Amino acid sequence: MCDATGDGGGCGADTEPPRRRRAPGTSHPRTCMKCGQGTAALVIRVGDPFCRACFREYFVHKFRAMLGKNRVIFPGEKVLLAVSGGPASSAMVRQVQEGLSREAAKRLRFVPSLVYVEEGAVRRQSPEQREQTLAQIEALLQATGFPYHVLHLEEALELPPSILQPGPGTSGPSGPSYKKAVDSFIQQQRQDGDSGSSLPGHSSQDTPAAPPATRGLPDAAQTQELLRSFEAAGTATAREELLEMLRTHLIVQTARDRGYAKVMMGDSLTRVAVKLLTNLSLGRGAFLAVDTGFTDQRHGDVMVVRPMRDYTAKEIAFYNVFFSVPTVTVPPLFTKHREKPSIHQLVERFLLGLQEEFPSTISTVYRTGEKLSPEPAKASSESQRCLLCLCGLDTEGEEELALEPTLILEEPEAGAESKAAYIPLLCYSCRLTFKELGPLDTLPPYVRAEGQRRIHRAEMEQNQENQESSKG
């Protein structure tokens, strides 16, 4: 592998982390450590100055190497790229564009489409501001020439309950092998008489044409209903988790409906490191590998892939400036007056502060994540799978948790419709989040519908067991 990063970690990783070296107070231009000629334009890791040309080569190569190493995206496969307008996903789209325009031997061979989830409602944007953001995003999406889908977060209210169950898995170990897929792709190309001049997939008929852009915003009533869920969440942390859940479910549902078996998300190395520590703090230790790994197969038929997780936020920001990658800035998720910041924000501040003094902090955290097993608690049936995050329940033998005073809420209603009845359906971490979400009638309808179904089913099974034991 031609690793140009000169990754300083390596064997000495267990020794005292290097202290930040203050740059000398001169403005004398330094030369690139890669080619030894160009004027350095940025420092990518401790003490590695790169010129623009070498940095570009390094950046583009890393993307292809990431996909090549993992071999999960099949040639000719339809892939949905989740775009937020932010730096990492915008750089990701540019890498796919670069990859598709390369000479045949180095060319990426999948068929990309884009999806954007508009979240202005929970970012406290006025309808005018939302329209403005949408116009900017659409310009950005259109400029790529790829088909794209624009969704509004409000549409999560109409998600089917089935999004909380894994779809029939085609991407798992039972799916077609990478090699088989490559072979059949090459055969297909020969049949098509592909000389290598056309882009992959553009000859096949099932490539969707760019759909008409979603014009207009959702009804005010829908926006109100969505906001009710977010307002009812008692903490900024729960609100962040709710947003992440709704967004992910919307994107995965879009992929499922339209036949994409892979979704690419633009989590950077910095974001992965923040997510790792955040999720650890949120009690999601058992699921770190699924939550932050290269592949995430919890949804079964739709695999989530994170090809940007090798790039630091700094590398991405510099790439976007140097090579004019357009981005769109949106305001942050709303917070309530005088509210404590979310754990997500606190961890980000903490990690970036530490990084300032110890420049290897973030990549060390990231590398720790690399060592985690990608197969945590396996769930063979839905009763063993968390209602909200679809991970295998990690609460075995911790049933007393359900009775923990902090998890019991004052409930006017009784029976299956009480909030407490949901607790056994949730993993440890989602129990904590669920507690901070509002009353049941503020939960997204699909969560409630699926929750009720599982509660009824569990009751029926319980009754059957009771009958059988009374017979015997």
Binding site for another protein (CB under 8 A): 22-27, 29-30, 39-43, 49, 87, 240, 270-271, 274, 313-314, 316-318, 321-322, 327, 329, 331-333, 335, 341-342, 344-345, 348-349, 352-353, 355-356
What is the spatial distance between Cα 242 and Cα 407, in angstroms, rounded to a whole number? 18
Subset of 50-69 contacting Zn ion (CB under 5 A) = 51, 54
In one-letter notation, the amino acid at residue 380 is S
Task: State both tokens at 305.
Answer: 């892939």
DSSP 78: E
Cα Rg for the chain, rounded, in angstroms? 24
Closest to another protein by CB, 61 vs 123, is: 123
430 three-state secondary structure = helix
In the complex, least distance from residue 421 CB atom to another protein, rounded to whole angstroms: 33
In the complex, least distance from residue 303 CB atom to another protein, rounded to whole angstroms: 25
Q: Does 40 bind Zn ion (CB under 5 A)?
A: no
Q: Does 437 bind Zn ion (CB under 5 A)?
A: no
Q: Does 424 bind Zn ion (CB under 5 A)?
A: no
Pair 65, 246: CB distance under 8 Å = no
Closest to another protein by CB, 222 vs 237, is: 237
In the complex, least distance from residue 216 CB atom to another protein, rounded to whole angstroms: 24
Q: Does 421 bind Zn ion (CB under 5 A)?
A: no
Task: State both tokens at 70.
Answer: 């993992």
In the complex, least distance from residue 30 CB atom to another protein, rounded to whole angstroms: 5
Nearest Cα to 95, choosing from 306, 261, 307? 307
In the complex, least distance from residue 314 CB atom to Zn ion, rounded to whole angstroms: 18
417 three-state secondary structure = helix
Token pair 């973030």 is found at 362
Closest to Zn ion by CB, 34 vs 62, is: 34
In one-letter notation, the amino acid at residue 139 is A
Q: Does 13 bind Zn ion (CB under 5 A)?
A: no
What is the spatial distance between Cα 8 and Cα 408, in angstroms, rounded to a whole number? 49
DSSP 358: S
In the complex, least distance from residue 391 CB atom to Zn ion, rounded to whole angstroms: 5
User: Candidates 34-42, 267-275, 342-350, 461-469 — which segment interacts with Zn ion by CB under 5 A?
Assistant: 34-42
Token pair 């090809």 is found at 307
Pair 277, 345: CB distance under 8 Å = no
What is the spatial distance between Cα 244 and Cα 393, in angstroms, rounded to a whole number? 20
DSSP 385: B
Using CB under 5 A, count the residues that bind Zn ion.
11
Q: Does 139 bind Zn ion (CB under 5 A)?
A: no
Q: Which of another protein, Zn ion, none does residue 30 bind (CB under 5 to 8 Å by kind)? A: another protein
Q: Which of Zn ion, another protein, none does residue 54 bind (CB under 5 to 8 Å by kind)? A: Zn ion
| Buried/exposed code over 23-60 (b: 16+ C-beta within 10 A; e: otherwise) | eeeeeeeeebbbeeebebbbbbbbebbbbbebbeebbb
In the complex, least distance from residue 182 CB atom to Zn ion, rounded to whole angstroms: 33
What is the spatial distance between Cα 221 and Cα 58, in angstroms, rounded to a whole number? 49
Q: Does 427 bind Zn ion (CB under 5 A)?
A: yes
Instruction: Tell which one of 4, 34, 44, 108 touches Zn ion (CB under 5 A).
Output: 34
Closest to Zn ion by CB, 46 vs 430, is: 430
Q: Which of another protein, Zn ion, none does residue 238 bind (CB under 5 to 8 Å by kind)? A: none
Sign of the C-alpha dihedral computed for residues 163, 165, 167 and 171 taken in this order = positive
Binding mask 380-399 for Zn ion (x = CB under 5 A): ------x-xx----------
In the complex, least distance from residue 43 CB atom to another protein, rounded to whole angstroms: 5
In the complex, least distance from residue 160 CB atom to another protein, rounded to whole angstroms: 30
What is the spatial distance between Cα 145 and Cα 148, in angstroms, rounded to a whole number? 9
In the complex, least distance from residue 163 CB atom to another protein, rounded to whole angstroms: 25
Nearest Cα to 282, choosing from 346, 232, 326? 346
Closest to Zn ion by CB, 262 vs 284, is: 284
User: H/E element holding 369?
Assistant: helix 361-370
User: Candidates 31-39, 351-359, 367-375, 412-420 — which segment interacts with Zn ion by CB under 5 A?
Assistant: 31-39
Q: Does 445 bind Zn ion (CB under 5 A)?
A: no
In the complex, least distance from residue 291 CB atom to another protein, rounded to whole angstroms: 16
DSSP class per residue in 197-247: -SPTTTTSTTSPPPPPP--SPPPHHHHHHHHHHHHH-SSHHHHHHHHHHHH
Q: Which of another protein, Zn ion, none does residue 326 bind (CB under 5 to 8 Å by kind)? A: none
Total residues belonging to the chain: 472
Q: Which of Zn ion, another protein, none does residue 49 bind (CB under 5 to 8 Å by kind)? A: another protein
Q: Which of Zn ion, another protein, none does residue 38 bind (CB under 5 to 8 Å by kind)? A: Zn ion
- In the complex, which residues of this chain contact Zn ion (CB under 5 A)? 32, 34-35, 38, 51, 54, 386, 388-389, 427, 430
